[in-house]
A = this chain, B = another copy of it.
Amino acid sequence: MSQPHDKNKKKRPRWRTKKRMVPAGAAPGTMHVDPTADETIIRVITANNGSFVDREHVSIAQLEQMLESPSWIWIDVSGLGTESSLKRIAELVKIHPLAMEDVLHVNQRAKVDQFGDSLFVVARMIDGTDARDSEQISFILRPNILVSFQQRHGDCWDPVRIRIRDGKNAFRSHSIDYLLYALLDSIIDSYFPFIDQLADQLDHIDESITLGLEDGAFDKLHQLRSQLLALRRVIRPHRDMVNQLIRDDYDLIVPETRIFLRDCYDHVIHVSDSTDTYNEAANGIRDYHMSMVSNRMNEIMKVLTIMSSIFIPLSFVVGLYGMNFNTDLPGNMPELNIPHSYEYLLLFMACAAVGMLLYFRKKKWI
């Protein structure tokens, strides 16, 4: 009994977002590292004598050394669990305490904030099958430096890294804000398989309900609507975020990159638009389902009513002549002693039944 319960529980979306770790009233900008989070791993891609270097598992000491060279550098931090490393990175790249606080509180909405000469960008990625369990990706953009903080290990940026390594792409000719664009675009692209999957589910549910095969279709619809709701909540702030990057006069974003960001904006709109459309479609299916349930109830009630209306009165009649009144006394059921009265009675009951059927046909019930 308890097992299906647990399984069900696991699958159900969790509305509860993670508890805020910071006690209410704590000083702003304090770093509160969650000790249960993934261990912090640093990967650095930097330009070294014209060729690009990609080094994984960089130590803090190595990072310090690398930051001394004046060239282009992308510091990719994944896992937010090692306090010492995170504190040192924040100092080295001069990250504003408020930005660092938001990096660590992984339930931020997508946004852009400017702190002095650095830009702080938050995006969210869906890396599983549950829109509620989105991963926060934060970026700090400074001249020639981009720091990315991933909440969890594993990302969708390998194609970008390959393009950087191959060098055949625009990365060398563009400034570092182009890299920010490329990473953001990869994040947004990761939404497409998810919405495609939701669309497939929607199709499947619609088909099941239309054909009357209700194999838990309404349960699935409920799950789907929860996912769409959560997806909408996650994707919507990205519109403002990307739009702000395009429109506002941040010096760090060159005009050329803005053209590319416009393309990224189109993708965000596409996801957000699909979410809204699927949501309305899901509402339509719900209405349709409710209506079909009502119709089916009507069908059932008609059968019951027809059967009952015909046979209950007839049962009364046959019960009547089953009574044991003493027929020897005057006025007591003389019909029972009339020849062929049984046949007359059968005829009468047949007529009554046919009359009822005609009445129901007139009412268009049959």
A160 within 8 A of B: yes
- Contact status of A281 and B15, CB under 8 A, knowing A156-B25, A326-B336: yes
Contact mask A225-257 → B, CB, 8 Å, 1/0? 110011001000000000000000000000000
Q: Is the CB of B266 within 8 A of A16?
A: no
A225 to B298, CA, bound (A): 24
A8 to B295, CA, bound (A): 20
Q: Within residues 148 to 206 of chain A, which ones have a CB less than 8 A from any CB in chain B?
A: 156-160, 163, 169-170, 182, 185-186, 189-190, 192-193, 196, 199-200, 202-203, 206
Q: Is the CB of B19 within 8 A of A196?
A: yes
A348 within 8 A of B: no
Stretch at the interface among A62-70, A84-92, A270-278: A270-278
Q: Is the CB of A340 within 8 A of B336?
A: no
Q: Is the CB of A229 within 8 A of B107?
A: no
A57 within 8 A of B: no
Interface centre among A23, A115, A333 (most CB of B within 10 A): A333
The smallest beta-carbon distance between A135 and chain B, in angstroms, is: 15
Nearest chain B residue, comparing its CB with the CB of A178: B28
Q: Is the CB of B12 within 8 A of A278?
A: no
- Contact status of A199 and B325, CB under 8 A, knowing A12-B206, A25-B159, A109-B273: no
A362 within 8 A of B: no
In the bound complex, residues from chain B placing their C-beta under 8 Å from that of A49 are none
A5 to B210, CA, bound (A): 10
A–B complex contacts, Cβ < 8 Å, 30 sampled: A5-B211, A8-B210, A15-B202, A16-B196, A16-B200, A17-B196, A25-B185, A27-B170, A28-B185, A102-B263, A107-B270, A108-B266, A109-B273, A212-B364, A226-B281, A229-B281, A233-B277, A286-B291, A300-B301, A301-B304, A301-B305, A308-B308, A311-B315, A315-B316, A322-B322, A323-B345, A324-B324, A325-B341, A331-B343, A332-B342
Residues of A at the B interface (CB closer than 8 Å) are 5, 8-9, 12, 14-17, 19-20, 22-28, 98, 101-102, 107-109, 111, 113, 115, 156-160, 163, 169-170, 182, 185-186, 189-190, 192-193, 196, 199-200, 202-203, 206-207, 210-212, 218-219, 222, 225-226, 229-230, 233, 259-260, 262-263, 266, 269-270, 273-274, 277-278, 280-281, 284-305, 307-309, 311-316, 318-327, 329-333, 335-343, 345, 363-365
A15-B199, A24-B190 given; 14 more Cβ-contact pairs under 8 Å: A8-B207, A22-B189, A24-B156, A24-B189, A28-B182, A28-B260, A102-B263, A212-B364, A297-B297, A298-B300, A300-B302, A311-B313, A323-B342, A331-B339
